[in-house]
A and B are shown apart, each in its own frame.
Chain A
Amino acid sequence: DAGVTQSPTHLIKTRGQHVTLRCSPISGHKSVSWYQQVLGQGPQFIFQYYEKEERGRGNFPDRFSARQFPNYSSELNVNALLLGDSALYLCASSLLRDTEAFFGQGTRLTVV
């Protein structure tokens, strides 16, 4: 059974551009969360989506947005990229909103 899959695995963007990161949860999982992990730090919570609705938001600017699709996959969008947005972006899925979370391998974003 496939785990949480994220795409792309790596990408490089220029300041001011926008980026879309994708996450496919484990089959049957309805909750998806996004985390940002800057090098040398622990992951920081960005969003949680459950049943296609936003259920939680971390302390990130409005340049960050996300959505969840009917098949429970999710996209994280970041506009007007800054150098400080360079990080590993992790997606986690869980069966329900309050059950164990499984993390994907992450997307490493480099902003130059």
Chain B
Amino acid sequence: GEDVEQSLFLSVREGDSSVINCTYTDSSSTYLYWYKQEPGAGLQLLTYIFSNMDMKQDQRLTVLLNKKDKHLSLRIADTQTGDSAIYFCAESRLVGNEKLTFGTGTRLTIIP
């Protein structure tokens, strides 16, 4: 079956880099996503990567994919207080919202 796992908590000092990790089990996963959820809010798509890519960079965000180990990571450079949120890893077989399977989320806390 499909399963996506993340560590629950991460604390990082302001200005440092944050690295949030995710593992998934479905070898049919085609697209892997990172979503951000701030308190009381819905989900904001940060970035996604196609399974035939190893890396994708978008401004302060870098996504690394190790398809062999089914491991995905999100690196946030120069972490700011506004980055405090819960970050969800998700996978699907199609781009878009056809049965996204989400992890449990990683709560990122920024230490001033």
Which residues of A are interface residues toward B (Cβ below 8 A)? 4, 31, 33, 35, 40-45, 48, 55-56, 58, 90, 92-94, 96-106
Contact = CB atoms under 8 A, between A and B. Distances in A.
Contacts of B104: 40-42
B12 interface: no
14 contacts: A41-B105, A42-B90, A42-B102, A42-B104, A45-B100, A48-B97, A48-B98, A56-B98, A97-B96, A100-B96, A101-B45, A101-B97, A101-B100, A103-B42
Contacts of A45: 99-101
A86 to B, nearest CB: 16
Contacts of B95: 98-100
Contact of A42 (B40, B98, B103): B103
A106 B42 contact: yes
B98 A55 contact: yes
Question: Quick one: which of B40, B97, B99, B103 has the most chain A CB within 10 A?
Answer: B97
A75 B42 CA distance: 18
Contacts of A93: 97
Contacts of A40: 104
Contact size range, B: 20 to 34
A107 to B, nearest CB: 10
Contacts of B42: 4, 90, 103-106
A56 B99 contact: yes
A58 B99 CA distance: 8
B44 interface: yes
Contacts of A55: 98
A33 B98 contact: yes
B10 interface: no
Given A100-B45, A103-B44, A105-B41, A44 B99 contact: no
A92 to B, nearest CB: 5
Contacts of B24: none
Interface in B1-36: 4, 35
